[in-house]
Structure 1
Amino acid sequence: MKAINVSPVVFISLCMIYIACNSSHGEKKKDDAVAALPAAIDVFPLEKDKLSTAFQTPAELIAWQQVDLYAKENSFVRKLYVDVGAEVKAGQLLASLEAPELNSRLAAAESRLKSQEAIYTASKSQYDRLYETSKTPGTISQNDLDQAAARKNSDLAQWEAAKAAHKEVMITRGYLEIRAPFNGVISARNANTGAYVGPSGKGSEFPMFTLQEQRKLRLVVAVPEAYIGYLDHKNPVEFTVKAIPNETFKGHINRLSGALDNRLRSERIEIDVENNNKRLLPGMIAEVNIPFPAKDSILIVPKTALVNSPERTFVIRIVNHKAEWVDVKKGRESGGKIEIYGAGLQPGDQLVKKASEEIREGSDVQHVKAVAAFK
């Protein structure tokens, strides 16, 4: 056989190719072996913690007090003393009215009052004379004296009734002056001089004036039923309004209604807002933030550990390398953390961090990897 002469360079190249082929084949076998192993499931120890959340919602600013002022009697506007935007004091005269027929009623009441007074004076004098005379035995019968006393008492009752009727007309006449019931601002005026006004629905479709107390406001918030368990009179509140976007206003809950609105299923709460500079106006919509601080330690899990299926809400616990579905109820949620309530769960239980229905109840879980709950 004739020997083949191979140059050293070619020989070395062939050797490197052989070694590379063997190495690639070995690595492929190794990768296939690793791929054949099941992926490890991340588990974490269940722990208790305190979760603080906040509730954000739109709310409305309303006047501390607001009233629509109507005329008590059908009448005509004689003079208006204030206009829209006027700041008034309690008892200040806002408008004067006139009702000609009321003057006639007053004159009739005064005439009847004087008539009844005269009748009573006469009957009383008659009774007094008879009484003095009856002191002499045999001069006046007891029946005549009783008749005179009854007449006097009847005339007294008629006089008292006339005085009450006269007083009623005088009070009604006082209603011809419209006065402010409290300090505030006239926010609406719907009458002019000479206009015919009267009680709501009988003479006026709209009130003569709307009066609002604006130096103090109420911030009215509707809190859904799910959050009312966290409400307290000490809860601080922050809010902003679009008209003053660079300023945050603060307060705290002053009043809880103690009942749910049947339509909205929410509880009304009110926050008192001092507004001496009147920068805030009734009717403004505010964006409210109510923090709910944590009260007690509770079981906390990452959001990924909770499975929400159509039939149930559960977490997956690993016990003796077996998957166990544990039903829970959700509490508050914040920053990827969720409060859970479940019978049988204890701190230290190993839960699957990325739970899903693919990990079936009772399935074997041999490969697990311990990780932190919130990293």
Structure 2
Amino acid sequence: MIKRIFIVLLLTVAVLGGIFAFKFYQIRQAESLIQPPPPAVVAAATVRSEQWPSALTAVGSFSPVAGVNVSNEVAGKISALHFQSGQSVAAGQLLLELDADTDRAELEGLRAELQLAKVRLQRSEKMLDKKYVSQADYDQHVAQLQQASAAVQAKITRIDKKMIRAPFAGELGIRQVNLGQYLGEGAAIVSLQQLEPIHLDFSLPERHISQLARNQSISATVQAYPGEVFSGKIAALNPGVEQDTRSLKVRAKLDNKDKRLRPGMFAQVRIESGGPRPVLTLPDTAISYNPYGNSVFLIEQGSQGLSVQNRQVTTGQNREGRVEIVSGLQEGDRVVSAGQVKLRNGMPVSIDARPAPGERESGQ
């Protein structure tokens, strides 16, 4: 009985083993018929040596040499407007008048009191010589004259403060008040900005302090006027470095006779700081920017063909679509400049015959 059971189990194992071996053979045959995926097609760029002028680059924004919101110092109702929105004005030009009829009437009364104080003092002077008035009465008349004169001057000053004038020459903005409107103290009337010349403010890392000086030449480009370069000079350097960013604030001054540059405009700044220097460069499309560091996929030639390896690099300045490679690569190294998303270390690749995307426009 036991022998019979053993024979049945043995036959069962043999049958199952045969089935497994047959299925395994079928799977291997099917796998041999499957073609491996072709290598990923990527664009390649070569690390090349260039001579870059020694210059610093930054981004900044324009600000006016002088800019204020014109406002009134005393309250009152607008009786006359003497400007239009967007108008150019000279320093001291009358912009607006507040109603001062009551003040002018009071001024006439104060002037009458001043005249009476003068007459009293003249009489006292004549009578003092003859001892008809005391010195105390004479001194009181002198004080009354001084008080009356001060009151007249104070009223004149108040009337003058109701004549709102431009504190400096410049360009007016959009008017924010209307004729007949009552203005409280400090109400915004219109913005006034001096546009000629104009300031350009930007920041640079503290490591560049030794390369900066007053009257150093700078150039700027803006999106509003593509291809046009605006020149100026450094006017001031902040005496201290910002503790939060470890950067130095710099202010340049540019001529703006045509008034095309406006406060708040964004600018790309370039500061010349010496002769040309050799650098290794790549198209900016070849760099993968990550929080933990920048990297590229280096193309290597092996026995099985081309493959890629991720390589950490240190980058420097960026100019006209090319990035300076400070370390991590050598001249002549080939890297992937398009198609990095689908790659991983050791993956086989084939190179597209077309130039790298970062070099097609320049025809290189």
Normalising by structure 2, we get a TM-score of 0.58
Match for 2:185 among 170, 176, 199?
199
Q: Displacement of 1:237 after TM fit?
A: 1.2
User: What is the rounded CA distance, in whole Å, between the counterparts of 2:154 and 2:243 in structure 1?
Assistant: 43
**Pair 1:62-2:63 in alignment:** yes
Aligned pairs, number: 241
User: What is the rounded CA distance, in whole Å, between the counterparts of 1:81 and 1:51 in structure 2?
Assistant: 55
Label 1:60 to 1:125 Cα distance change in 2 as closer, same or farther (>3 A).
same
Aligned to 1:267: 248
Match for 2:232 among 227, 247, 251?
251
User: What is the rounded CA distance, in whole Å, between the counterparts of 1:107 and 1:273 in structure 2?
Assistant: 51
Supply the AA of the counterpart residue of 1:173.
I
**Pair 1:231-2:212 in alignment:** yes
Query: Is residue 59–residue 221 contact of structure 1 (8 Å, CA) maintained in 2?
Result: yes
Label 1:262 to 1:208 Cα distance change in 2 as closer, same or farther (>3 A).
farther
Supply the AA of the counterpart residue of 2:85.
V
User: What is the rounded CA distance, in whole Å, between the counterparts of 1:279 and 1:231 in structure 2?
Assistant: 27
Aligned to 2:271: 290
**Pair 1:72-2:58 in alignment:** no
**Pair 1:219-2:200 in alignment:** yes
User: What is the rounded CA distance, in whole Å, between the counterparts of 2:263 and 2:150 in structure 1?
Assistant: 43
Supply the AA of the counterpart residue of 1:192.
N
User: What is the rounded CA distance, in whole Å, between the counterparts of 1:237 and 1:93 in structure 2?
Assistant: 38
Normalising by structure 1, we get a TM-score of 0.57
State the secondary structure of the residue aligned to 1:60. Answer: strand
1:61-120 CA distance string (max 9 Å, x none): 112221221112111111111111111112221111114543454245334323422332
User: What is the rounded CA distance, in whole Å, between the counterparts of 1:301 and 1:223 in structure 2?
Assistant: 21
Query: Is residue 70–residue 198 contact of structure 1 (8 Å, CA) maintained in 2?
Result: no
**Pair 1:173-2:162 in alignment:** no
Aligned to 1:164: 150
**Pair 1:186-2:172 in alignment:** yes
Q: Percent identity?
A: 26
User: What is the rounded CA distance, in whole Å, between the counterparts of 2:173 and 2:137 in structure 1?
Assistant: 58
Query: Is residue 77–residue 97 contact of structure 1 (8 Å, CA) maintained in 2?
Result: yes
Q: Equivalent residues in 2 for 1:1-375 (5 A)?
A: 53-103=54-104, 105-130=106-131, 148-200=134-186, 204=187, 207-293=188-274, 335-337=324-326
Label 1:301 to 1:211 Cα distance change in 2 as closer, same or farther (>3 A).
closer
The runs of 4+ residues in structure 1 deviating greater than 6 Å are 300-303
State the secondary structure of the residue aligned to 2:141. Answer: helix
1:115-144 CA distance string (max 9 Å, x none): 4223323322321222xxxxxxxxxxxxxx
Q: Displacement of 1:262 after TM fit?
A: 4.8
Q: Displacement of 1:250 after TM fit?
A: 1.8
1:165-186 CA distance string (max 9 Å, x none): 2111101111121122222111
RMSD between aligned residues: 3.3
Q: Displacement of 1:52 after TM fit?
A: 6.3
User: What is the rounded CA distance, in whole Å, between the counterparts of 2:191 and 2:85 in structure 1?
Assistant: 9
Label 1:111 to 1:266 Cα distance change in 2 as closer, same or farther (>3 A).
farther
Supply the AA of the counterpart residue of 1:71.
N
User: What is the rounded CA distance, in whole Å, between the counterparts of 1:264 and 1:185 in structure 2?
Assistant: 35
Which stretch shifts more, 227-236 or 78-87?
A: 227-236
User: What is the rounded CA distance, in whole Å, between the counterparts of 2:252 and 2:137 in structure 1?
Assistant: 64
Aligned to 1:369: none
User: Unmatched 5+ residue regions in structure 2?
Assistant: 1-50, 282-291, 293-314, 318-323, 328-364
Supply the AA of the counterpart residue of 1:186.
L
User: What is the rounded CA distance, in whole Å, between the counterparts of 1:302 and 1:81 in structure 2?
Assistant: 62
Supply the AA of the counterpart residue of 1:282.
P
1:287-325 CA distance string (max 9 Å, x none): 112233279x9xx9999xxxxxx9xxxxxxxxxxxxxxx
Q: Displacement of 1:249 after TM fit?
A: 1.4
State the secondary structure of the residue aligned to 2:174. Answer: strand
Label 1:234 to 1:91 Cα distance change in 2 as closer, same or farther (>3 A).
closer
User: What is the rounded CA distance, in whole Å, between the counterparts of 1:289 and 1:301 in structure 2?
Assistant: 18
Supply the AA of the counterpart residue of 2:121.
Y
Query: Is residue 52–residue 279 contact of structure 2 (8 Å, CA) maintained in 1?
Result: no
State the secondary structure of the residue aligned to 1:119. Answer: helix
1:325-350 CA distance string (max 9 Å, x none): xxxxxxx9564347xxxxxxxxxxxx
